Amino acid sequence: MQSIHRTVLLNEAIDGLNLKANSTVVDATFGGGGHSAEICRRSPSAKIIALDQDKSVSKNKASSCNIIFYNENFRNLDKVLEKDEKVNGIIFDLGLSSNQLENSGRGFSFQKDEPLLMTMKANPTSWDLTALDVVNTWSEKSLADIIYGYGEEKFSRKIAKGIVEARNQKKIETTFELVKIISKSVPGVYKRGRLHYATKTFQAIRIAVNDELEALAEGLNKGFEALKVGGKMSVISFHSLEDRIVKRFYKKQASEWKAKLINKKPIKASAEEIKNNPRSRSAKLRILEKIK
């Protein structure tokens, strides 16, 4: 059954861009197409440059607007813009879409038994890094480092040790095999917590596979460079590592008098939105305006 993707902080993110007629907007993380569709509804004359490294999402294109889709990571934003082209707004939604989590078959979710891929590429080649490579070939120290560094998982060393011991017996090939290893590596009280015990490890491996934090840093720089003076950037993040990168980038631009912060504290989902879409609970929206 196809899941329905609910775009988080939809109105707040687009309101923050303060778009006018005939604006050019970059939707740097097209995903389910929710932000582009709403921009299109509000401003039919807008030109939308949409990017997503997952080629399968291009089918979500809204047909009533001028949307140009590029199968590209936002870290390569400069490659898809015309020479010296400047835009009025840019939006980054850093969360995985429901479709990627539940229907991609690439192992993003620990709740489905799927091949360990976790790559944003719909059709990875043998040259592309996957979660299968990470869990079966990386050293115990490297595994512990990424699970702690990217997942902020306090049992990272025990989980890394469990992974290495398990792969010495048999290659780890599926999400459920990895979940079972994690389950055996953490204490019982941890497994009864509010957050699923595999969440942080899966997050960490996914970030490593897709080089997400470095890509974000590059994307923010190139996105800001592409903005016109007076243009705005909306970024929705879902975990502390992402939000920290966004916050530091915004503060740096403001301290150099290149931009001003539209909201000093992140905008969060309302109680009603959280009730209707629990995934919005961790979302944080930060908005920046370029002033020179």
Q: What is the pLDDT of residues 239-248, one digit of tens each?
A: 999 999 999 9
Q: 19: number of CA atoms within 13 Å, CB side?
A: 31
Predicted local confidence at residue 5, as pLDDT:
54
Q: pTM for the full model?
A: 0.90
- The first and second tokens of residue 267, run together, are 């905008």
- Domains of the chain from N-terminus onward: 10-99+212-290 (3.40.50.150), 105-210 (1.10.150.170)
Please give the annotated binding residues, written as ranges. Answer: 33-35, 52, 74, 93, 100
Q: Which residues, given as ranges, of the chain have pLDDT below 70?
A: 1-5, 58-64, 97-103
Whole-angstrom Cα distance, residue 93 to residue 166?
A: 36
Whole-angstrom Cα distance, residue 201 to residue 135?
A: 11
Predicted local confidence at residue 35, as pLDDT:
92
Predicted local confidence at residue 157, as pLDDT:
98
Predicted local confidence at residue 61, as pLDDT:
59
Please give the annotated binding residues for S-adenosyl-L-methionine, written as ranges. Answer: 33-35, 52, 74, 93, 100
Predicted local confidence at residue 2, as pLDDT:
40
